Amino acid sequence: MKFIFARHCKATGQEREAELTKEGLQQADELSRYLEKYPVHVTRILSSPFTRAKQSIRSFSESKGIEIEVDEPLGERSLSSKPLDDWLEILENSFTVLDQKVRDGESSKEAMERAASLLHELMDSDEDDETVLLMTHGNLLALILKYFDDAYGFEEWKSLTNPDLFLAVREGKEWAVKRMYEE
């Protein structure tokens, strides 16, 4: 089994219904062309329910005739339902203090467990030759990468681009993760 973890293209905002910008729509077409040429055959596409995520992978989905399966666990992590002046500092700390939680927000540990539950469900399938593309958001993507390799953290989150792609391949019982895509 292989996973391709994808971060959405540039968007108009962080709200659930925020759409891609004009540049983001162009990036989505470029992303589709890139994936069509990449030597890994995608068999399934799972996406965050957020509009920007679905828009980011729609062109590729349509070109390959693969339905986008909307999956709530791929939605962005919420630090808090209310704006935070010090959100960047809180986010940075959340990569080392995984249980840190602000008000009604989600801790890094909770977000990682949410994503890991989905990943284990997929890994438990009988489809060893399956390649699943998972379209998500920057913070959750960084936490998924941290799940596979604890070296991932705040600095790696800061280096993520819109869009971004990582390939995870099982090698025996271990997983190797590498960045696939440069803007």
Which phi-psi region, left, alpha or beta, contains residue 94 (left: φ > 0; alpha: ψ -120 to 50)? Answer: alpha
- Could you give the angle at the alpha carbon of 118 between the alpha carbons of 27 and 115, nearest 5°? 65
Domain range 2-179, CATH architecture: 3-Layer(aba) Sandwich (3.40)
Residue 84: pLDDT above 90? no
- pTM score, whole prediction: 0.94
Note the pLDDT tens digit of each residue in 15-29.
999 999 999 999 999
